[in-house]
């Protein structure tokens, strides 16, 4: 199914990580900054779109167009009458969560389909984006990271999702991946991916482990058995009742209280202040995982006051006490699962498991030894990459998932269960309906729902998958059957078999195929094209600067600082410094001008005006400068254009011309080179 350039992607709410299997070993692929994880930030400015740390670093200056945690609304439907309210947060948390989150998810409206649509300002234009479009930019960034490392195009991936993701959330993730340019995509639960990574590091014939994934937006657990390489999920639970983000919010409230007590002023909840506070809180939480106390400093937190304080770990644990109590309740329910006695060890993944209080709570409540052998930020991506590599094989390892949600039906006044929680995935479920249900409710049709439990009987989300209307039931309502297929990604598909005929019942995501295609050819293509053009300009600026600096050194050594070519080099460097938005065409023209100026130094038919250059050109005919006939013709845009990489390999015999260095030559002189390799160029060979 998947090609050799397959990747595993951990698409997290807080950060993303991408990995691939190369030479039989899994490797985490670093981004351009050298980091193995990329913050899940996306931002839009007047000139470009930003993803990762670049977007995060400008968040305080551009909060209205900066997105973080889009995954929390991806694939969720909202009631238009409750606009801008995260309805799945209950009780007193909804107002606080809404105020904070809405500054990381700018104002959105609700479409007719119930999906959120975000208003952004990009290049002085207002655009409306779906959550899938923003997520697609994040996936496209990780895809680009993989391609830069692997040196080939990537169109196939295994992407991790939380255990409790619904059908529409999983479908929305697939939609985002396809918008980003991925063709063959399979979803895998994050806990299952971590178990595969664990088995890769601890290959045993038989084992039973529990994986606890506690990340930025959710918590989940899976009990898995490993038998001769076959990974079988016995039970899986997930929810968002407690998360790393919620712990951040508790700490933020404690910091605001300390600010008000110290300065006696009410905290102004401006978007920029909240971004600065959130950034400082995340850094503080990280420090307190290692230290018992840490300093906190937030510039211009409120009323222009720079806030500085000391925050002990004990105070953090006290401020997050409510969250730890909720987590304890969740853990106690997990420990009562029917397969818990068989568990040998608990594997921890997810950044929030580093918090000492969380780790202690897990150890005390679950009563099993903890395993810290996996990298908590990279394990899920590694497991997804291993699964992607396995799917390339003709006989991939067998992985059996379980369904963490229940599929119900409702027909008139009757209802029932179609697929129970814990059913095997992938699998087919045939639901016969010849018992009179359709006959009694032919005029009403049938509605299909999925119920997702959030580890609490009081919190159950009921989501309508589809409605089978009377016109779809065929001519005879007396008999029929529904065939439910749950694919490897955990997505439900329905086929209606009636009167000897089979027809698919569409269960789409919040984006139709037509709308997804429009996005691919519209906004997403515009973002990628604009970014490609900016990168092209930046590369041209860097190449021209390197070229000038190298020639500056060589010309200074041969002719001193008074030559025309040397002065032109200085002028171009000054121009680059004053023109940060120079285009590739402008840089290419500057390069041609400098090349022709250097040519004139060695062209004895046109004697140079500078004394040092005249002296150099008056050497005898055996001198390497005057005997090089390849330098007699000035360079123009129409001359010497290479058609391929091999066309840019040019040989100059018996000359000592200052030529552009290769990467390993930078910083040292290479006299009397017999062959000069010139890097690829699309306008003019880089022969100097």
Please state the separation of Cα 340 from the chain's center in Å.
34
CA distance 222 to 213: 9
Beta strands in 303-358 (DSSP E): 305-312, 345-349
Angle of helix 167-179 relative to helix 513-521, nearest 10 degrees, comes to 30
The DSSP annotation for 601-625 comes to HH-TTS--SSHHHHHHHTS-TTSTT
Average the pLDDT over 166-189 and give the result: 92
Question: Of 399, 418, 452, which one is at a domain's C-terminal end?
Answer: 399
101-110, 318-327, 441-450: least confidently modelled range: 101-110
Q: The CATH number of the domain where 380 resides is what?
A: 3.30.420.40
Residue 290 is assigned to a structural domain of this protein: no
The answer on 564 and 505 residing in a single domain is no
The answer on 569 and 440 residing in a single domain is no
The answer on 61 and 94 residing in a single domain is yes
Residue 331: per-residue pLDDT: 95
Q: What is the DSSP letter of 36?
A: S
Q: Helix, strand, or coil here: 116?
A: strand
Could you report the per-residue pLDDT of 462-502, keeping only the tens digit for each?
555 566 655 555 545 455 677 778 888 988 888 777 666 66
The DSSP annotation for 418-470 comes to EE-TT-EESEEEEEE-TTTHHHHTTTT-EEEEEEEE-SSTT-EEEEEEEEE-G
**Which helix (H) or strand (E) element contains residue 520?**
helix 513-521
Q: Helix, strand, or coil here: 376?
A: coil
- Torsion angle in degrees (nearest 10) through CA of 455, 214, 175, 7: -140
Q: What is the DSSP letter of 130?
A: E
Could you report the per-residue pLDDT of 358-402, keeping only the tens digit for each?
999 999 999 999 999 999 999 999 999 999 998 887 677 788 898
- The structure's pTM equals 0.79
Q: What is the DSSP letter of 104?
A: T
- Which residue matches tokens 């001193």? 560
Residue 635: per-residue pLDDT: 42
The answer on 118 and 11 residing in a single domain is yes
Domain that holds residue 229: 6-242+324-399
Could you report the per-residue pLDDT of 538-596, keeping only the tens digit for each?
999 999 999 898 888 877 777 767 778 888 888 999 999 998 889 999 999 988 888 88
Residue 234: per-residue pLDDT: 93
The answer on 469 and 417 residing in a single domain is yes
The answer on 83 and 51 residing in a single domain is yes
426 prior amide bond cis, ω within 30? yes
Domain count, the chain: 3
Residue 616 is assigned to a structural domain of this protein: yes
- Torsion angle in degrees (nearest 10) through CA of 145, 149, 154, 157: -70
Q: The CATH number of the domain where 503 resides is what?
A: 2.60.34
Q: Helix, strand, or coil here: 525?
A: helix
**Which helix (H) or strand (E) element contains residue 537?**
helix 523-559
pLDDT at residue 431 is higher than 90: no
Residue 208: partners with Cβ closer than 8 Å, 6 or more residues away: 223, 224, 225, 226, 234, 339, 342, 343, 344
The answer on 566 and 605 residing in a single domain is yes
Residue 422 is assigned to a structural domain of this protein: yes
Residue 230: per-residue pLDDT: 84
pLDDT at residue 57 is higher than 60: yes
Residue 105: per-residue pLDDT: 66
Residue 345 is assigned to a structural domain of this protein: yes
Q: Of 451, 461, 462, 464, which is closest to residue 90 (Cα–Cα)?
A: 461
Two tokens, residue 176: 């985002």
Q: What is the DSSP letter of 396?
A: P
Two tokens, residue 241: 């009742």
Two tokens, residue 28: 């985490």
Residue 607 is assigned to a structural domain of this protein: yes
pLDDT-based confidence at 411, cuts 50/70/90?
A: confident
Residue 94: partners with Cβ closer than 8 Å, 6 or more residues away: 85, 86, 87
Q: What is the DSSP letter of 339?
A: T
List helix spans (H) across 38-120: 53-57, 93-101
CA distance 489 to 404: 12
Angle of helix 93-101 relative to helix 244-263, nearest 10 degrees, comes to 90
pLDDT-based confidence at 634, cuts 50/70/90?
A: very low
Question: Of 399, 422, 442, which one is at a domain's C-terminal end?
Answer: 399
Q: Of 54, 189, 72, 185, which is closest to residue 131 (Cα–Cα)?
A: 72
Two tokens, residue 668: 């040292």
The answer on 657 and 576 residing in a single domain is yes
CA atoms within 13 A on the CB side of 313: 12
Residue 468 is assigned to a structural domain of this protein: yes
- Residue 57 near residue 539 (C-beta atoms within 8 A): no
pLDDT at residue 670 is higher than 60: no
Could you report the per-residue pLDDT of 216-260, keeping only the tens digit for each?
988 999 999 988 778 899 999 988 888 898 899 899 999 999 999
Residue 622 is assigned to a structural domain of this protein: yes
Residue 309 is assigned to a structural domain of this protein: no
The answer on 488 and 386 residing in a single domain is no
The answer on 454 and 395 residing in a single domain is no
Q: What angle do CA 45, 46, 50 make, to 5 degrees?
A: 30
Q: Helix, strand, or coil here: 403?
A: coil
Q: Helix, strand, or coil here: 387?
A: helix
- Which residue matches tokens 């009397």? 672
- Residue 493 near residue 466 (C-beta atoms within 8 A): no
Could you report the per-residue pLDDT of 500-550, keeping only the tens digit for each?
666 777 675 666 666 666 776 678 888 888 888 888 999 999 999 998 988
Angle of helix 379-390 relative to helix 190-201, nearest 10 degrees, comes to 80
The answer on 353 and 233 residing in a single domain is yes
Stronger pLDDT, 169 or 395, i.e. the higher one: 169
The answer on 591 and 629 residing in a single domain is yes
- Residue 506 near residue 165 (C-beta atoms within 8 A): no
- Torsion angle in degrees (nearest 10) through CA of 210, 6, 510, 524: 140
CA distance 136 to 173: 9
Using the Cα atoms of residue 242, residue 244, residue 249 and residue 251 in order, give the sign of their dihedral: positive
Average pLDDT over the chain, rounded to an integer: 77
> How does strand 219-227 pair with strand 676-677?
unpaired
Could you report the per-residue pLDDT of 84-140, keeping only the tens digit for each?
433 333 333 333 344 344 345 666 677 766 778 888 888 888 888 888 999 999 999
Residue 149: partners with Cβ closer than 8 Å, 6 or more residues away: 20, 29, 30
Q: Of 581, 569, 590, 548, which is closest to residue 684 (Cα–Cα)?
A: 590
Question: Of 346, 378, 399, which one is at a domain's C-terminal end?
Answer: 399
Residue 679: partners with Cβ closer than 8 Å, 6 or more residues away: 648, 660, 662, 686
Helix, strand, coil shares of the chain as percentages rounded to 5?
40, 25, 35
């Amino acid at each position: 199914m998947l090609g050799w350039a397959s990747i595993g992607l951990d698409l997290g709410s807080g950060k993303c990580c991408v990995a691939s299997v190369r030479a039989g070993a899994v490797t985490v692929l670093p981004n351009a900054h050298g980091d193995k994880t990329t913050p899940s930030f996306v931002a839009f400015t007047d000139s470009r779109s930003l993803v990762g740390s670049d977007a995060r670093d400008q968040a305080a200056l551009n909060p209205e167009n900066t997105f973080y945690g889009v995954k929390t609304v991806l694939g969720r439907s909202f009631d238009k009458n409750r606009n801008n309210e995260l309805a799945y947060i209950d009780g007193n948390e909804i107002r606080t969560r809404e105020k904070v989150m809405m500054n990381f998810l700018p104002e959105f409206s609700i479409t007719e389909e119930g999906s959120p649509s975000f208003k952004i300002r990009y290049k002085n234009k207002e655009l409306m984006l779906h959550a899938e479009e923003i997520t697609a930019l994040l996936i496209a960034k990780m895809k680009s990271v993989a391609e830069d490392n692997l040196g080939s195009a990537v169109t196939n991936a295994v992407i991790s999702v939380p255990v409790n993701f619904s059908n529409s959330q999983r479908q929305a993730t697939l939609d985002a991946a396809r918008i980003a340019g991925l063709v063959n995509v399979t979803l895998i639960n994050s806990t299952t991916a971590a178990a595969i990574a664990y088995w890769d590091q601890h290959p045993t014939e038989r084992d039973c482990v529990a994986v606890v994934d506690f990340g930025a937006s959710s918590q989940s657990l899976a009990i898995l058995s490993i038998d001769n390489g076959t990974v079988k999920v016995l039970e899986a639970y997930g929810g968002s009742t407690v998360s790393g983000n919620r712990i951040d919010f508790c700490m933020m409230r404690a910091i605001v209280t300390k600010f008000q007590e110290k300065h006696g002023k009410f905290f102004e909840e401006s978007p920029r202040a909240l971004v600065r506070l959130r950034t400082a809180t995340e850094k503080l939480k990280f420090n307190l995982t290692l230290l018992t106390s840490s300093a906190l400093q937030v510039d211009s937190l409120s009323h222009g006051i720079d806030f500085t304080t000391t925050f002990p770990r004990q105070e953090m644990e006290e401020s997050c006490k409510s969250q730890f109590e909720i987590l304890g309740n969740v853990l106690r329910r997990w420990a009562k699962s029917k397969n818990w006695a068989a568990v040998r060890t608990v594997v921890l993944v997810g950044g929030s498991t580093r918090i000492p209080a969380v780790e202690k709570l897990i150890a005390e409540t679950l009563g099993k030894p903890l395993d810290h052998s996996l990298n908590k930020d990279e394990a899920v991506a590694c497991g997804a990459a291993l699964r992607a590599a396995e799917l390339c094989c003709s006989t991939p390892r067998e992985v059996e998932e379980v369904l963490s949600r229940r599929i119900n039906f409702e027909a008139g006044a009757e209802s029932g269960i179609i697929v129970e929680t814990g059913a095997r995935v992938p699998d087919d479920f045939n639901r016969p309906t010849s018992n009179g249900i359709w006959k009694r409710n032919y005029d009403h049709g049938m509605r299909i729902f999925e119920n997702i439990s959030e580890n609490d009987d009081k919190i159950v989300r009921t989501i309508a998958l589809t409605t089978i209307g009377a016109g779809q039931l065929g001519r005879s309502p007396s008999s029929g059957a529904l065939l439910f297929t749950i694919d490897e990604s955990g997505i439900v598909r329905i086929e209606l078999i009636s009167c000897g005929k089979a027809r698919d019942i569409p269960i789409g995501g919040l984006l139709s195929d037509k709308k997804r295609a429009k996005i691919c050819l519209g906004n997403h293509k515009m973002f990628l094209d604009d970014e490609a053009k900016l990168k092209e300009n930046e590369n041209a600026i860097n190449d021209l600067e390197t070229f000038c600096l190298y020639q500056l050194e060589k010309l200074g050594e041969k002719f001193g600082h008074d030559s025309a070519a040397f002065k032109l080099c200085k002028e171009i460097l000054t121009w680059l410094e004053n023109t940060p938005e120079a285009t590739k065409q402008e840089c290419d023209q500057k390069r041609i001008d400098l090349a022709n100026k250097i040519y004139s130094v060695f062209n004895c038919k046109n004697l140079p005006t500078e004394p040092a250059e005249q002296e150099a050109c008056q050497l005898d005919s055996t001198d390497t400068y005057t005997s090089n006939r390849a330098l007699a013709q000035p360079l123009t845009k129409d001359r010497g254009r290479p058609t391929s990489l091999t066309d840019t390999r040019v040989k100059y015999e018996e000359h000592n011309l200052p030529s552009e260095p290769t990467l390993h030559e930078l910083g040292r002189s290479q006299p009397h080179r017999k062959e000069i390799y010139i890097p690829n160029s699309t306008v003019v060979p880089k022969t100097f």
